[in-house]
Amino acid sequence: MTIHRIRQLGDPILRARCAPVQDAGSLAARIVVDDLQETLHDWQARHGFGRGIAAPQIGAPLRIIYLELERDVPWVLLNPEITDIGTDDFDVWDDCFSFQMLYVRVQRAYHIRVAWLDLEGLRHEQDFEGPAAELLQHEIDHLDGILAVDRPHGLDPFCFRDEWHRNHAHEGRCGQPHLREAVHLPMMHEYEIGPPRNMVDS
């Protein structure tokens, strides 16, 4: 097992769309999982926090996530995908190993269903809500080259870690769930028909 340098914001590997794992039991997949575990434990020992890590964060563009929702209880997800989302969203102050000093306010689905393969190649599907759902959305985003900084929500959505602890920690990282707002799509009659207003007859 190897402790890897965690790739930081600006590294192109974090923007790669990761390839699916073709053989769940392959030596290559198991090496990546072992290295993710070792790297997460090293991060936890040095910083005192951390629940999960995605393969591109150690430079491996594969669809693999390693989580520990409980300390030292490993959970490996190969080729995870969100198969359903609930009707509620909630605001989250999100952070990331790849930009350690920054918090970003994002909006996530409060309830999701996720399907994945384990290291034996068995398929699982399960519902998650709240902090677990938020973490899974964050890590699955990594596999598609999407970072929390791409999903800012609301006014003043960026905050340095020290300032967050000073000004927002008492509120907690997660807000209350609320019904997802409908996205307004313009109807045809809302579009202006005709030539641009600055066009003059010649």
Catalytic residues: 139
CA 127 to CA 159: how far, in whole Å? Answer: 31
143: which residues sit within 8 A by CB, 6+ positions away? 17, 18, 54, 55, 56, 63, 65, 80
CA 128 to CA 111: how far, in whole Å? Answer: 6
Pairing of strands 88-94, 52-54: unpaired
Q: Which two tokens stand for residue 53?
A: 């890590």
DSSP letter string, 1-63: --PPPPP-TT-GGGGS-PBPPS-TT-HHHHHHHHHHHHHHHHHHHHHS---EEEGGGGT--BS
